[in-house]
Chains A and B, each alone.
Chain A
């Protein structure tokens, strides 16, 4: 881990996002990400990116929310990317320590070390990571690490025309977010809520102000590290090994031979 200089992150205010996808475009352009290999139309949304992938490190979700009879509708948007979690599942499971924390407290994939095993994909509770089709290594948002190193802000934040994506020190951004949450709630948006305070994986460096429950945006309400299942796996292994070994020994040592076993002379025929 690099010496921590500052704790940088993003506050994504979904209440002012217009779904213009300028952030997606800026991300692709700055990071020289290739075109989607399976380019096409989703067919069930005005969003045609679909999901985060090795070629899309940022994805503006279109939450097209219709009532059953379609008499009521609303559109909500969420510019999704890596959350740079304090407790990062991807870092925890990486077998080669290719995923590291930078001096800006962000989570970064070292492409010179990554072996492309894909295990981090399953470790991320947000489905952020994917194997890049061109690189063969794990890919995700770097929070524009190269730009941060020269004092610039990430390309998406710089491009956002409504300041829905704000970059800065996480603690300061969180204060801003709480003010904004209070403002929205005071003005009748009762479901406005911050997603990514310290209650979620120790805090998300990229956190959100949502206008509805996290599930509405496809986000888990209580994401966990994948290790929560590991201990159960070890226990079941140990118990099954003991049980299988014991049963095998009993079967092997049994003195009772079946009639067929006694008459086994035709085995070698």
Chain B
């Protein structure tokens, strides 16, 4: 048998579908958080009523991310080993392993998301319990007090790390299509911003509150910028793959990448953002947001599953 190192020697990790769903959910969670935190801290003196609702998205998506990660493991009951080494009785942290770091980043992000949702609930006045009020006071201090800018920037950095670490994780492997370029983390961050912003828009549209109109327009502009950036990064990524580009370009992966992720998930929404009159503003916003979510899912499927299908 003729042996070719990359094909006959290396092995696929056979990461299952849960990893695709995980990166999708983590993109929405992290993107929504970054949009809410960065815009609240540095977005200028505009009416931002409703922006805090993005924290609901981050909070709901966080445990889903955790469950998907556990679902990906062969020995699910041992998931705690990622944080605690019971054999040696010490905290588990391996700085050389992006997966180990990722476990901690998810945990820290979940704390930020939880504080964020407490702040959001307090703002919407949903829970009036006395003890909860103390938590709301603390969360409000972090989000609106003197340290708010620093706190929200830190939360955004953690969210950005959360969005990108699976990119770093797959780059830190021997699989040629994954380590051929350092652009997968870039793909995840840019796409996460688009996913998060689109989900926030959908949530704000549900509320039918006229106060949100300016905010929706402004977030929609972020979506437009991220869509353009996303297209550029995808093209650069595929070019960067060089001889391994067939892993994402051939068969149904190629159709999903260029047909669903790029055309349906980015170009069509971009047209709708630029020319909302085509469907009417509300329908355009809903359609473009849904298509961006669909395209983001397809992108993740192609980038994670295509290279694994080489073996």
Q: Does A30 contact B (CB under 8 A)?
A: no
Question: Given A122-B13, A122-B175, A216-B3, does the pair A245, B38 have CB atoms closer than 8 Å?
Answer: yes
Question: Given A93-B96, A115-B81, does the pair A244, B193 have CB atoms closer than 8 Å?
Answer: yes
Q: Does B172 contact A (CB under 8 A)?
A: yes
Q: Does B257 contact A (CB under 8 A)?
A: no
Tell me the bound Cα distance from A230 to B101 in angstroms: 12
Question: Given A244-B229, A260-B276, does the pair A233, B172 have CB atoms closer than 8 Å?
Answer: yes
| Complex: chain A residue closest to B276, CB-CB | A260
| Complex: chain A residue closest to B84, CB-CB | A96
Tell me the bound Cα distance from A216 to B169 in angstroms: 30
- CB contact between A264 and one of B1, B175, B184, B217 (< 8 Å): that residue: B217
Tell me the bound Cα distance from A239 to B164 in angstroms: 11
Tell me the bound Cα distance from A125 to B88 in angstroms: 28
| Chain B nearest CB, measured from A98 CB (Å) | 8
- CB contact between A247 and one of B86, B156, B165, B225 (< 8 Å): that residue: B225
Q: Which residues of B contact A220 (CB under 8 A)?
A: 5, 9
Q: Interface 1/0s, chain B 92-125, versus A by CB < 8 A?
A: 1010111110110000000000000000000000
| Chain A nearest CB, measured from B279 CB (Å) | 11
Query: Are A126 and B172 interface neighbours, CB within 8 A?
Result: no
Q: Does B185 contact A (CB under 8 A)?
A: yes
Q: Does A237 contact B (CB under 8 A)?
A: yes
- CB contact between B167 and one of A44, A47, A94, A233 (< 8 Å): that residue: A233
Question: Given A113-B81, A267-B281, does the pair A244, B190 have CB atoms closer than 8 Å?
Answer: yes
Query: Are B164 and A240 interface neighbours, CB within 8 A?
Result: yes
- CB contact between A230 and one of B172, B175, B189, B282 (< 8 Å): that residue: B172
Q: Does B128 contact A (CB under 8 A)?
A: no
Q: Interface 1/0s, chain A 222-240, versus B by CB < 8 A?
A: 0000110110111111011
| Chain A nearest CB, measured from B248 CB (Å) | 17
Tell me the bound Cα distance from A44 to B8 in angstroms: 13
A–B complex contacts, Cβ < 8 Å, 19 sampled: A89-B174, A95-B94, A96-B100, A113-B78, A116-B73, A119-B173, A122-B175, A131-B14, A215-B5, A220-B9, A229-B171, A230-B172, A245-B156, A248-B225, A251-B224, A251-B225, A252-B39, A252-B221, A254-B221
Q: Does A110 contact B (CB under 8 A)?
A: yes
Q: Interface 1/0s, chain B 145-172, versus A by CB < 8 A?
A: 0000000000011001100110111111
| Complex: chain B residue closest to A236, CB-CB | B182
- CB contact between B74 and one of A123, A136, A218 (< 8 Å): that residue: A136
Q: Does A42 contact B (CB under 8 A)?
A: yes
Q: Which residues of A contact B11 (CB under 8 A)?
A: 51-53, 121, 124, 127, 129-130
| Complex: chain B residue closest to A224, CB-CB | B174
- CB contact between B82 and one of A115, A123, A229, A235 (< 8 Å): that residue: A115
The stretch among A57-65, A150-158, A177-185 that forms the contact with chain B is A57-65
The stretch among B134-142, B205-213, B293-301 that forms the contact with chain A is B205-213
| Complex: chain B residue closest to A269, CB-CB | B282
Q: A: which residues have CB within 8 A of B?
A: 42, 44-45, 47, 51-53, 61-64, 89, 92-98, 110, 112-119, 121-127, 129-131, 136-137, 215-220, 226-227, 229-230, 232-237, 239-241, 243-245, 247-254, 257, 260-261, 263-269
| Chain A nearest CB, measured from B221 CB (Å) | 4
Tell me the bound Cα distance from A175 to B238 in angstroms: 47
Query: Are B38 and A229 interface neighbours, CB within 8 A?
Result: no
Tell me the bound Cα distance from A254 to B43 in angstroms: 10
| Chain B nearest CB, measured from A88 CB (Å) | 11
Query: Are A47 and B94 interface neighbours, CB within 8 A?
Result: no
Q: Which residues of B contact A241 (CB under 8 A)?
A: 157, 160, 164, 189
Tell me the bound Cα distance from A126 to B233 in angstroms: 31
| Chain B nearest CB, measured from A128 CB (Å) | 8
Q: Which residues of B contact A250 (CB under 8 A)?
A: 225
Q: Interface 1/0s, chain B 1-45, versus A by CB < 8 A?
A: 111110011111111000000000000000000110011001110
Chain B, range 212-246, C-beta contacts under 8 Å to A: 213, 216-219, 221-222, 224-226, 229, 233
- CB contact between B173 and one of A53, A95, A123, A243 (< 8 Å): that residue: A123
- CB contact between B94 and one of A97, A236, A243, A268 (< 8 Å): that residue: A97
Q: Which residues of B contact A44 (CB under 8 A)?
A: 1
Q: Does B250 contact A (CB under 8 A)?
A: no
Interface centre among B85, B165, B175, B217 (most CB of A within 10 A): B217
Q: Which residues of B contact A227 (CB under 8 A)?
A: 96, 172
Interface centre among B9, B46, B226 (most CB of A within 10 A): B9
| Complex: chain A residue closest to B12, CB-CB | A121
Query: Are A218 and B4 interface neighbours, CB within 8 A?
Result: yes
Q: Which residues of A contact B79 (CB under 8 A)?
A: 115
| Chain A nearest CB, measured from B307 CB (Å) | 10
Q: Which residues of A contact B4 (CB under 8 A)?
A: 218
Q: Which residues of A contact B168 (CB under 8 A)?
A: 230, 233-234, 237
Q: Which residues of A contact B205 (CB under 8 A)?
A: 267
| Complex: chain A residue closest to B221, CB-CB | A251
| Complex: chain B residue closest to A220, CB-CB | B5
| Chain A nearest CB, measured from B49 CB (Å) | 14
Q: Which residues of A contact B213 (CB under 8 A)?
A: 264-265, 267-268
